[in-house]
Amino acid sequence: MIWSRTFFVWCTQSDLQNKFREELEENIFACMEMSNQSYRDISFMPLQRFYNYLKWKSKLEEDRRNTIEEHAGNLNIGV
């Protein structure tokens, strides 16, 4: 019952719909940039898998950046 009320509220409030569309579009473009995939490939992903992929890819990029910074810091210490 709660789901149907929540869905009804979402369907009747255009500002929520617009916010969802804008955030989804930004996430799709971010995913395209991070993974070099086409818009079509991303749009065919199931929504939950898409969001899980974004979280995984963001964490991977953050870990990669931290490793590079750590490695660069070690090189500066040795000089």
Quick one: how far is CA 57 from the chain centroid? 8
| DSSP result, 4-63 | HHHHHHHHH-HHHHHHHHHHHHHHHHHHHHHH---HHHHHTS-HHHHHHHHHHHHHHHHH
Q: Tell me the pLDDT of the chain (79 aa) as tens digits.
A: 455 556 666 667 777 788 888 888 999 999 999 889 999 999 899 989 999 999 999 999 999 999 999 888 877 765 5
User: In the structure encoding, which two tokens stand for residue 26, read together?
Assistant: 């930004």
CA 52 to chain centre: 8
